[in-house]
Structure 1
């Protein structure tokens, strides 16, 4: 019920309180007003009698008792609820003249009839209850009646029956403020214990003039207060999580809506918890840089590098917008033509998809990233401008703004990395002994396994965030969601052209010799370089060297820009020993005549994933770098050092006599004889000084 007031005028259609009831004015004359009756009839009341009634008031709508809040009633003791229900029966009789349990067609009791005013009914109820032993005044009845009309039966409950515990009990508010200040000081600091925060609270109190003389409560009370104030703040947890929560949004926030493939994409990098063999053959750790589509959860590209640089982010972007080739040795179930992706529709747009793997090609419209140097670099920003991509860095310390890629990187650790040899665990507490002695994969080999795992497992794994709104219990895979959104959006963006892909690759400057181009100890050559051999490019700033572009994850070929040609400026040169080395990114060599059964079944995909994980866990087909291998390397190093020192005698020393012939040692390690070991006391910085011999 809204507010009530004495009427300034009486008009037809108004609702008024008269004689203890709310009635509608259905007619007005100069001498009388016609009101609706409780029995459905009408009653005519003289204007003078109507206006002098003390209860007369205009109401906007008929009085309706609020529904009882049963859930809040459960917070009170049963005795208090029972007493409130007892009061409800009496208040209803005051309001309507009848008790709720009255038999139909029963006349109101004396003092509660239709002609009795609300004030008279309240006096009658007070007298009745006082006579029955419940002493109460008419004003108390009126107060209960108003509370009932406002809050229903909940307004009749004695609130003292369910006392609430204060938030901080009896702790002084100044102590609470000091502890809050101590907690906020540690947001950007290193993680400390509760004893430090309690000590710091006392220091802040002593330094605050308004808190002079305030005594700290007991230590147990302070710890309980600290537990309440630090709940959900990660004060004693990870510092990165604590900073993210403290600097994040304090008001309700949402996320960028993504309804089409590529509308919003996220990119990030993280160290991988696995050891690999780097280019120099030494075990080391690497970083994973990946990009994911928010709408489809498609892992469009993922690359491995020892350290992520700006050029690696640009290469990742180039891989996102180009088809993933089906590699030799991959299961036939991983072909795009046998997946749920709309292969025929996409093939009409890009013929390169004929031999593509089942991974969608998505052109980003917006890329969300953090403030890593590789992503805010000029190289990556220029690549985004070239492809007309909206570049959107997240706020600093707000990892939740790109939570999809953060969660995806953590999923790769549990779904793929832990199956690899050389697994390190997420921290030193979870690390095994000597993971570097496993059969480690090389960087290029592991990149090949990761690409196959993305196509085989990730793109065909039901994702909990990809659900049908009409059927929430059903989950989709990234490939299924992509196919669904393509039909809903009504268009498919055209992938990047081949020349554009080459433009995004890293640039090097090399000379073209008679034997070809030497890069990273590999020689690349092709007949197309004949006109460029031992010739200058004419670019003075680069001393006449030729511009080459390379894919860091594809050692099979490079591209040379012929600045003098206008129609076809790129010359593709292949590795001279490509036919002798099993490189992961070799040329496609498929039998186009063999029969291809369309539609990969779920068991076929599952078998491909199982075989991939088994092969990844077994490691490459080479001996592990065990304890004996390390000893052999130390022996060989000492032998080379000794042989070098003995081969160059001092100038003033006499010529040493020819040594006696030594017996030929037994062949070892592939038939190569080992030199005689001279036990010199050489210093080995890698040797454990505490190891017992």
Structure 2
């Protein structure tokens, strides 16, 4: 029966009757064991209750797998005595529906990072689907002060909190109008083996910022129990109070949540940021009790202010070039026509000296280092190692599309135009985004009913572009632009996201 119970670890949940049946099969298959006279059914049930205690053999399959990965001995914990000495990062679906464009209601993913020494949530990002670029942006947000936003109460200012604002302001001028959230520079980050954190981009971002990345053991959530518990606390302390809360599983989900009032993704992100500052950072935490005064539980802000007396603070200002460094990278050749990525051609006059040339990086066979933003395909950045600079290269057919969009919309347009040219795919992407912008038309004016997948792609694309800063584009046209196209109609300038204009500064 112990063998039959152990076989249920990775299997689907079954009843006690199946375990007893499986026990009989194991006895019958064993040639060395003579015929065994089994006791009564009631006795077998009592035996199962003793042997299966604490294994969840007939309960939740998820809980059963989690219990099986726990270590047999006492739990250990790596001590952390300074802010940023040890941090943990993870992603999980947030149990809240978000209203996207065209009426689409979907759940989003929450990626957050917590400091072990102070239990501070240094950054949290909501996205339709977590990508490596989001994890890299999380690192930058952790070392960047959270600026006060319109509508926030003055009580959330760092100057009104327990944090030593005046002492920190003399070191870092960015804290003058910041909110009461600690700025913590990570030294070591523990993560799981998800593709977002094991990606080449996230590991390169950690190396660039001097962060030691420590992957946990596979299928061992106890190696990063703090962030697991923190994400669970976000669900119980924040998510269940938000309109559109779905519950942790389908058994807890209400009816017709899509028809009720729902927040948009930027609005929910702002609410989450405000909740972290107003509630989480000021809430007493049981893990932050002082051994000399165990009855007093510190809040994350109070613990940070206490540790700051002995650990100090060193600001890490980030520039626009640092933002480009944290974007996903790829290595390609610069051909006579420019650079081609997923049927998109990027070209500029500044690439003329480097066309069909060796980059000087022998380890990459002479290919050139290129960084790109998965949420904005309008431009890429090429590293010029000799000039120690980044070259901004625009998409050749940029003016065919009226709004910024990302890889998700482009991939969907490629599916709609199989074997099409670059111009046809660009027009298909523009049509997809135009439908998302116009919204649903009246029933009499709807010539074609678009698929739910088209609406979902358009909604997710706009959810990751509406909150980006869009300054005016440069006056120069991208290289190799067809001059005849500009004479047919008036060209409306497209607002572009300029990372070299200090993107970390929030209004």
Shorter-normalised TM-score: what interval?
A: 0.5 to 0.7
Between the aligned partners of 1:304 and 1:505, the Cα distance in structure 2 is 18
1:208 aligns with 2:208: no
Given the two structures, how large is their TM-score scaled by the length of structure 1? Answer: 0.50
The equivalent position to 1:319 in structure 2, one of 113, 116, 141, is 141
Partner Cα distance (1:350, 1:505) in 2: 22
Hey, what's the Cα distance between the residues in 2 that align with 1:410 and 1:496?
A: 32
2:228 is paired with a residue whose SS is helix
Query: What is the RMSD of the two structures over their aligned residues, measured on CA atoms?
Result: 3.4
The question of 1:249 aligning with 2:71 is answered yes
Q: Is the 8 A contact 2:185 2:316 kept in 1?
A: yes
Query: 1:86-485 maps to which residues of 2 (within 5 A)?
Result: 179-278=1-100, 281-485=103-307
- State the match for 1:527 in structure 2: none
**TM superposition score normalised by structure 2:** 0.67
Equivalent pair of 1:275/1:285 in contact (CA under 8 Å):
yes
> Structure 2: where are the runs of 5+ without partners?
331-346, 357-369, 393-438, 450-507
Alignment partner of 1:484: what SS? helix
| Cα distance in 2 for residues equivalent to 1:292 and 1:411 | 12
Distance 1:442 1:395, change over 3 A: same
- In 1, Cα distance between equivalents of 2:252 and 2:37: 45
CA contact (8 A) 2:196 2:202 kept: yes
Query: How many angstroms apart in 1 are the aligned matches of 2:310 and 2:53?
Result: 44
Larger radius of gyration: 1
Which one of the candidate residues 320, 323, 326 is aligned to 1:502?
323
Q: What count of residue pairs does the alignment treat as equivalent?
A: 376
Residues 1:636 and 2:458 are matched in the alignment? no
**Structure-2 separation of matches of 1:508 and 1:388:** 18
Measured after TM superposition, the shift of residue 266 of structure 1 is: 0.7
How far off is 1:642 after superposition?
A: 8.8
Check conservation: 2:84, 2:187, Cα contact below 8 A: yes
3-state SS, counterpart of residue 284 of structure 1: strand
* Structure 1 residue ranges without an equivalent (≥5): 1-178, 510-532, 542-546, 572-632, 644-693
Cα offset, 1:506, TM superposition = 3.4
For 1:198-218, what per-residue CA distance to the aligned partner results, in whole angstroms no more than 9, with x for missing partners? 110111011112322111111
Deviations 1:638-687 (A, max 9, x none): 533299xxxxxxxxxxxxxxxxxxxxxxxxxxxxxxxxxxxxxxxxxxxx
Q: Which structure's relative contact order is higher, taking Cα pairs within 8 Å and 6+ residues apart?
A: 2
- Per-residue CA shift, 1:550-589, capped at 9, x if unaligned? 696xx9xx99889699799699xxxxxxxxxxxxxxxxxx
Residues 570/316 of structure 1: CA separation in 2 closer, same or farther (3 Å cut): farther
Once residues 10 and 383 of structure 2 are traced to their aligned partners in structure 1, the CA distance between those partners, rounded to angstroms, is 53
In structure 2, relative to structure 1, the CA distance for the partners of 1:180 and 1:567 (3 Å cut) is closer
Mapped contact 1:267–1:290 kept (Cα < 8 A)? yes
